[in-house]
């Protein structure tokens, strides 16, 4: 089934008709017989969406909407409201109460179903991101809670006529004081969409004669790197006083826009306060999801990082090294692998304490990482040991790099914490190079060769670089 939808209309016949339409679209439909019944069912039963009639008792419907939608972190279920004659004041009150959509009765079938699909996509996106964030937290990889100052929001008013875009932006500035507004033509909107910091929200002021171009603009904006996750609202203008339900073409255009990726569609000469609140609503959802995604990415990154040095850990490094080795073999290119170990590190801990040992590890990791190329891999494999992988690097270049790393660590003593003075540190490095061979080397074999070379460097007096013999 496509989802569970809880519905209520004050007229029983309307509930039956709505249930039939939704059941035909493969939704599971649950009917409530009053506002109180709707609230109880919505609170007790897991449903994906609520459709509620505004006509019978607007104040009760709005109160129910506030209770169910609430703030995004506590979202229970999105609510779509229905009204026979939604005046501007009622529409503003509905969206102010958190409604995700408001549809005029009698319902246009295609517009109804397209609206439900869009609302469910948005709500599922919010819920999935919240669940993923919770899973990361349960695994212990979430960052501790900290304050985050979100960047200032920005929005673009897009029209084929620059004068019209400028006028709309000017009218909205008094109602969106905390938002940077841009007035753009479609070409300019697409060029901004290629930038990393594109507007958060686009409002397309559509024209009947150019609606196909405007639909393409929706798809194009979602295909650009910067505007891929932006929220898009389309204001559909028809004939003066046109009713989107009576005007079948207008409703069909709106349905197509929603299915192509528009997040909201408004009709005709919409009240500026309503447009502003719907822009704010979409921007708030985007910002909420962006924050959750960022936290999720950081949590996943933490799972791959050593918490002390910030380098990749062994769990991440092993499969990454495997892929690097496979790539080198496919291209017939060499791959140099270093096993690096701090000399006499146990004595550092025994003499100066584990705090000093941690400081040494952090500083050595910092120096090593800063000296390598962006495409190189460095990981803390355990204790005082590190792995360094250098793609497209043969023996001569690997020897030069390894000697340079030894000098880098040797040349400057490490400052110890709590004014503990300076400590001279050295490293030993074992190097194994995988080159084109009749029999492809395995990662385990390459690591074993690098380890044997490291032990040889230790046995030869430390602070040395030793190369592994060729694989048999």
CATH number at residue 191: 3.40.50.2300
Q: Are residues 180 and 323 in the same domain?
A: no
In a domain? residue 139: no
Q: Is 354 exposed, middle or buried (CB count within 10 Å of its CB: 0-12, 13-18, 19+)?
A: exposed
Q: Provide the CA 255 distance to its chain's centre, in angstroms.
A: 27
In a domain? residue 100: no
* Last residue of one domain, picked from the residues 235, 270, 285: 285
pLDDT digits (tens, 9 = 90+) for 37-77: 999 998 888 899 999 999 989 999 999 999 888 665 556 78
Q: Are residues 241 and 385 in the same domain?
A: no
Marked catalytic residue, from 207, 274, 384, 397: 384
Tokens 């909205």 belong to residue: 172
For residues 100 and 219, give the distance between their C-alpha atoms in angstroms, rounded to a whole number.
22
In a domain? residue 137: no
In a domain? residue 73: no
pLDDT digits (tens, 9 = 90+) for 188-210: 999 887 776 789 999 999 988 89
Nearest to 4 by CA among 52, 53, 54, 42: 42
Q: Are residues 246 and 343 in the same domain?
A: no
Locate all alpha helices (DSSP H) within 78-203, ordered by sequence: 88-96, 109-138, 162-173, 186-193
* pLDDT value at residue 432: 96
* pLDDT value at residue 152: 75
Taking each helix axis as running N to C, give the angle between helix 109-138 and helix 272-303, from 0 to 180 degrees, rounded to the nearest 10. Answer: 30
Q: Are residues 273 and 327 in the same domain?
A: no
> In this structure, are residues 284 and 144 in contact, taking their beta carbons and an 8 Å threshold?
no
Tokens 């990393």 belong to residue: 196
> In this structure, are residues 427 and 376 in contact, taking their beta carbons and an 8 Å threshold?
no
The token duo for 400 is 């030069």
Nearest to 10 by CA among 55, 50, 51: 55
* pLDDT value at residue 466: 96
Q: Are residues 378 and 257 in the same domain?
A: no
* Last residue of one domain, picked from the residues 285, 306, 337: 285
pLDDT string in tens for the chain (472-residue length): 478 999 999 999 999 999 999 999 999 999 999 999 999 998 888 899 999 999 989 999 999 999 888 665 556 789 999 999 889 999 999 999 999 999 999 999 999 999 999 999 988 877 776 666 555 554 455 554 444 455 678 899 999 999 999 999 999 988 887 788 999 999 999 988 777 678 999 999 998 889 899 999 999 999 988 898 899 999 987 554 455 555 678 889 999 999 999 999 998 788 899 999 999 888 888 888 887 777 777 777 777 899 899 999 999 999 999 999 999 999 999 999 999 999 999 999 999 999 999 999 999 999 999 999 999 999 999 999 999 999 999 999 999 999 999 999 999 999 999 888 899 999 999 999 998 765 678 999 999 999 999 999 999 999 999 999 765 4
Q: Are residues 276 and 158 in the same domain?
A: yes
Domain that holds residue 280: 147-285
* pLDDT value at residue 298: 73
Q: Are residues 353 and 421 in the same domain?
A: yes
In a domain? residue 259: yes
CATH number at residue 436: 3.30.70.270
Q: Are residues 426 and 375 in the same domain?
A: yes
Q: Are residues 224 and 364 in the same domain?
A: no
Q: Provide the CA 33 distance to its chain's centre, in angstroms.
A: 40
In a domain? residue 370: yes
Query: Could you confirm whether 128 is annotated as catalytic?
Result: no
The total of structural domains in the chain comes to 2
Q: Are residues 367 and 458 in the same domain?
A: yes
Q: Are residues 267 and 368 in the same domain?
A: no
The token duo for 295 is 């936290």
For residues 359 and 222, give the distance between their C-alpha atoms in angstroms, rounded to a whole number.
46
* Last residue of one domain, picked from the residues 268, 285, 302: 285
In a domain? residue 1: no
In a domain? residue 272: yes
Q: Are residues 255 and 373 in the same domain?
A: no
């Amino acid at each position: 089934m496509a989802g569970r939808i809880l519905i209520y209309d004050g007229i029983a016949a309307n509930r039956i008709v709505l249930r039939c339409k939704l059941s035909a679209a493969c939704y599971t439909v649950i009917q409530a017989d009053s506002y109180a019944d709707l609230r109880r069912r919505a609170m007790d039963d897991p449903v994906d969406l609520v459709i509620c009639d505004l006509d019978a008792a607007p104040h009760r419907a709005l109160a129910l909407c506030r209770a169910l939608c609430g703030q995004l972190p506590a979202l229970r279920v999105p609510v779509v409201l229905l009204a026979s004659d939604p005046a501007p004041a009622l529409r503003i009150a509905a969206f102010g109460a958190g409604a995700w959509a408001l549809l005029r009765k009698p319902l246009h079938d295609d517009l109804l179903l397209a609206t439900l699909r869009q609302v469910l996509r948005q709500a599922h996106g919010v819920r999935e991101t919240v669940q993923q964030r919770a899973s990361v937290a349960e695994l212990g990889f979430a960052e501790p809670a900290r304050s985050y100052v979100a960047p200032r929001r920005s929005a673009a008013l897009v029209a084929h006529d620059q004068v019209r875009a400028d006028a709309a932006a000017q009218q909205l500035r008094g109602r969106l004081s905390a938002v940077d507004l841009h007035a753009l033509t479609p070409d300019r909107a697409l060029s901004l969409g290629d930038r990393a910091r594109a507007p958060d929200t686009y409002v397309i002021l559509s024209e009947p004669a150019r609606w196909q171009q405007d639909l393409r603009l929706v798809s194009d904006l979602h295909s650009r790197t910067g505007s891929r996750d932006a929220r898009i609202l389309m204001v559909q203008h028809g004939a003066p006083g046109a009713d989107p339900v009576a005007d079948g073409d207008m409703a069909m255009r709106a349905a197509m826009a929603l299915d192509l990726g528009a997040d909201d569609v408004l009709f005709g000469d919409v009240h500026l306060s309503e447009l502003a609140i719907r822009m704010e609503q979409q921007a708030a959802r985007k910002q909420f999801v962006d924050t959750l995604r960022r936290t999720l990415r950081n949590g996943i990154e933490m799972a791959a990082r050593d918490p002390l040095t910030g380098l990749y850990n062994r769990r991440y490094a092993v499969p990454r090294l495997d892929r690097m080795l496979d790539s080198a073999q496919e291209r017939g290119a060499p791959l140099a692998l270093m096993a690096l170990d701090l000399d006499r590190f146990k004595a550092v801990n025994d003499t100066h304490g584990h705090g000093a040992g941690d400081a040494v590890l952090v500083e050595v990791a910092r120096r090593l990482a800063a000296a390598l190329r962006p495409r190189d891999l460095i990981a803390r494999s355990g204790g005082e040991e590190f792995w360094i992988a250098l793609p497209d690097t043969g023996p001569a270049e690997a020897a030069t790099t390894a000697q340079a790393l030894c000098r880098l660590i040797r040349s400057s003593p490490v400052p110890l914490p709590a004014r503990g003075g300076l400590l001279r540190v050295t490293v030993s490095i074992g190097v194994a190079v995988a080159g084109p061979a009749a029999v492809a080397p395995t990662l385990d074999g390459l690591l074993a060769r690098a380890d044997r070379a490291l032990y040889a460097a230790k046995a030869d007096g430390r602070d040395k670089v030793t190369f592994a013999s060729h694989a048999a």
